Chain A
Amino acid sequence: MTAKPMTAAGASRASVLFPAVAAFAIGFGLIFMSGLVQAETLHDAAHDVRHATGFPCH
């Protein structure tokens, strides 16, 4: 852990926000697609996982 001036801490707070939101959105997209989208092919392929992971399935 390196010592940084106060301004750097403030900058890091702002610079973390966009990448964090982007990664969070990708993660949510993966879960939404695997767990919740009702398209038939996707539902059938992910069927067992949806049940076992506790997503509402059909």
Chain B
Amino acid sequence: MFSRILTSGLIAGAATGLIAALLQLWFVQPVLLHAELYESGQLAHFGAEVVSAHQDLGPFEWTRNMLSVLFTMLVYAGYGLMLVALMAVSEAQGHAVTARQGLLWGLAGYLTMQLAPAFGLAPEVPGVAAADVQIRALWWLGTALATGLALWLIAFGKGWAAWGVAIVLLLAPHVIGAPQPDSYAGPVPPELSAEFAGRALGAGAMAWAILGLLAGWFWQRESQRAPVPQAA
């Protein structure tokens, strides 16, 4: 059982990570590099001169970008393992998982790990003002945990009590509120910041849809090779 989860999760995750890395390098990285010109002070927003929105972002940085590919694959391998582990638990409870259902799992994963945390802490372009990183990390983790639990209760819970708890869990992190900076001091133009957040969330949605599909597909394939008893 353990090796089936490991195989499905790691292969689906690593393959998705590779695609996600390409999406990131193509669509997100140029915005990030552009913002870094403002973060480093090379460009100044509302400075003495009007700054062109079209900048030379320099040559392709192999070491930096290959590290990004590696870490994107690690992150999605982690997501893949967590996703397939939960698929295995749900299947033991009698809910078969296919690639089509995997798409829903991917959507739920996206809501849990990206969209819900982003509702309070939008993906940050380099150079934005933000609250203390430890406190943000804590809120981020708590939000992901609460959202994930809530979605599990909505999908597999029975009765109003479970759904009621789910609604509370979904809302609580946002009612409490994400840690915000005391003042705004980001040097990056808001246009770039917004573009970055949109791109990061969009690329994440694509990647999670692919992760869900692949995880469901690999899991089903592994299950057929070594059938496990289903709950009656």
Contact = CB atoms under 8 A, between A and B. Distances in A.
Interface of A: 1-2, 4, 6, 8-9, 11-13, 15-24, 26-31, 33-36, 38, 45-46, 48-49, 51-58
B218 interface: no
Given A49-B24, A51-B200, A34 B133 contact: no
A18 to B, nearest CB: 8
B140 interface: yes
Contact of B68 (A4, A23, A49): A49
A56 B126 contact: no
A38 B136 CA distance: 12
B81 A30 contact: yes
Interface size class of B (residues with CB under 8 A): 35 or more
B125 interface: yes
Given A19-B2, A20-B85, A36-B137, A30 B32 contact: no
A40 to B, nearest CB: 13
A45 to B, nearest CB: 5
9 nearest A-B pairs in the assembled complex, by CB-CB distance: A27-B81, A30-B78, A19-B2, A56-B136, A4-B229, A27-B82, A31-B78, A8-B229, A24-B85
Given A27-B85, A53-B114, A19 B1 contact: yes
Contact of B32 (A8, A26, A52, A58): A52
A22 B155 CA distance: 23
Given A17-B89, A49-B71, A54-B200, A12 B5 contact: no
Q: Is the interface of B mostly helix, strand, loop or mixed?
A: helix
Nearest to A14: B92
B114 A12 contact: no
A34 B77 CA distance: 11
Contact of A9 (B5, B89, B230): B230
Contact of A54 (B204, B228, B231): B204
A29 B11 CA distance: 17
Given A12-B228, A28-B82, 9 more contacts: A11-B229, A19-B1, A23-B81, A27-B81, A46-B68, A48-B67, A52-B72, A53-B72, A56-B136
